[in-house]
Amino acid sequence: MTGKLKMSCVMCLASVVMLLPFVGACAPEAKPTKVLKVGMMTPTTGPAAEKGRPMGHANLDAIKYINEELGGAGGYQIEVLWLDSAYDAAKVVTIVKRFMDEGCLLFTTSSSKEMSVAMESANRAGFPGIACFTSPVLYRPPRHIYGQMPDYGDDALAFANFYMKNIWRGPGRPKFALHLLNNPTGYGARDAFRAKADELGIEIVSVDEHAATTTSEIESLTRIKAKQPDVLFISSTPAPTAVIVRNAYELDMYPGITIGCAHASFTKALIDLAGADIVEGVYGTFPTVMWGEDVTGMAKVTEYCRKLHPADYGNMDYITARAQSLVVAEILRLAVKNVGHDVLAKGDAQSWQAVEKQGIQKLKGYDVEGLHGPVTYTPGDNRLNKYNRIYRIVAGKIAEPSDWIEAPLIKYEEYEWFGK
């Protein structure tokens, strides 16, 4: 393997194999003829491209950093087979098969939609996967799929608790209207409210769905407005969320009601798409630190982003995906330490089991350079990081972080309606 990045055009990306460079003279010595291969997919094109592009950049920028500056994982270079899913279910199925056929040790997705399609074949084969953005249906009950961070159900409950403690001042139960993307991104929030709304003391007055390609939600919001909600909670991606917030503004619903967003949409892309004046004051959850915070990894995040993909600077999705690659490297480091490279070299079912049992399930308190909460595997809980924050858009920026909020485990599979 040479020190070149083998990449066809950076953004066409229908099929890209990344062969990441060797370490420099000052880095730990790496073994030059052996690699650890992983599969990564991002929705770089298609209806979620505003998220997929910066996440793909960050995944690969981080692997470059890991290989060149940290000496790889356990002294071995990480080789990435990186493919664009286009947020398309048929492509996801093909991609996962290719990852397995080409000897990848594990695979990652950016979105819950990608993983909801990938999980059937991956679970059947025992091929471990890690999703950045997740919904409870991906790993309840736990099998071979893991969530990097709190899921959309955790978002919904974190925001609802924050609202009840810090915003709600009225008598009785506040009225929540839900506007949900018609895939696991939305359904995770729906399921959380279904399970816990009564316990939280809130009333769900409406549940509406939208597509990732929506261009107007005036009709649905007109119906919602008639119900006089106190809160509009949106679990979606940036583009449709921007449509919904703009339409709520046009209908004079906002400002007035409180708008809260799950973390899939709550990033710089939402502000850019909707307009800073429209989204001023909107709340949202997000499980990483903000840009510029004083944490160990921020200097390198900033250095690599500004040098390689400056247009992504300020986008918290970039931080999320960089952290995902760091978690992957830590998993591989643990697996090499615990079973040796020879067990991993074949990239077969035995290798996958070793990575899962001796890598993923050995994670304990890994701090991800401070970019988000500590990463720990807990038996029976496939969320690797359980900490979230509430933010607010102020003067065109995501600001006002709350304290870190730990999301409790909810065993959704114990509810008879779950997954139906």
Residue 210 lies in a domain: yes
Contact 410, 418 (CB under 8 A): no
Match 């990575």 to its residue by tokens.
Answer: 355
**Position 114 in a domain:** yes
Same domain, 398 and 278: yes
DSSP assignment, residue 132? S
In this structure, the dihedral spanned by the alpha carbons of residues 81, 82, 87 and 90, taken in order and rounded to 10 degrees, is -30
Nearest to 273 by CA among 232, 298, 244: 244
pLDDT tens figures, 191-232: 999 999 999 999 999 999 999 999 999 999 999 999 999 999
Contact 341, 34 (CB under 8 A): yes
Q: Are residues 238 and 201 in the same domain?
A: yes
pTM: 0.89
Percent of the chain whose pLDDT exceeds 90: 91
269 and 393 belong to one structural domain: yes
Residue in 276, 306, 280 with CA at minimum distance from that of residue 291: 306
**Residues 270, 324 within the same domain:** no
In a domain, 9, yes or no: no
Half-sphere exposure of 113 (CA within 13 A, CB side): 25
Q: What CA–CA distance (Å, rounded) separates 29 from 309?
A: 28
User: pLDDT of 224-252, one tens digit each?
Assistant: 999 999 999 999 999 999 999 999 999 99
Q: How many domains does the chain have?
A: 2
161 is a domain residue: yes
Q: Are residues 159 and 40 in the same domain?
A: no
Q: Which residue has the tokens 């160990």?
A: 296
Dig out the tokens for 42 from the structure: 């991002």
Burial of residue 353 (CB within 10 Å: 0-12, 13-18, 19+) is middle
User: Which residue range is the domain that position 194 belongs to?
Assistant: 152-286+389-414
Peptide bond into 54 cis (omega under 30): no
Residue 97 burial class via C-beta count within 10 angstroms: exposed 0-12, middle 13-18, buried 19 and up: middle
Tell me the mean pLDDT in the region 62-81.
97
Check whether residue 258 and residue 123 sit in a common domain.
no
Do 313 and 247 sit in the same domain of this protein?
Answer: no
The arithmetic mean of pLDDT across residues 319-332, rounded, is: 98
Residues 251 and 396 in one domain: yes
- Report the CATH number at residue 158: 3.40.50.2300
B/e letters for 374-411, b = 16+ CB within 10 Å, e = fewer, are bbebeeebbbbbbbbbbbbbeeeebeeeeeebebeebe
pLDDT interval class at 34 (50, 70, 90): confident
How much is the mean pLDDT over the chain?
Answer: 92
Residue-by-residue DSSP string for 171-188: SSPPEEEEEEETTHHHHH
pLDDT average, residue stretch 61-79: 97
Residues 207 and 276 in one domain: yes
β partners of residue 366: 375
Q: Indicate if the pLDDT at residue 23 is higher than 60.
A: no
Task: Kindly state whether residues 136 and 110 are assigned to the same domain.
Answer: yes
Alpha helices in 315-399 (DSSP H): 316-339, 341-344, 349-358
Q: What is d(CA 331, CA 354) in angstroms, rounded to the nearest whole number?
A: 11
Question: Is 29 inside a domain boundary?
Answer: yes
Domain for residue 4, yes or no?
no
The pLDDT score that the predictor gives to residue 18 is: 44
Same domain, 30 and 104: yes
For residues 200 and 240, membership in a common domain is answered with yes
Tens digit of pLDDT for each residue in 261-272?
Answer: 999 999 999 999
The mean pLDDT value for 134-150 works out to 97
Amino acid code (one letter) for 24: G
Domain assignment present for residue 420? The answer is: no
The number of beta carbons lying within 10 Å of the beta carbon of residue 165 is 8
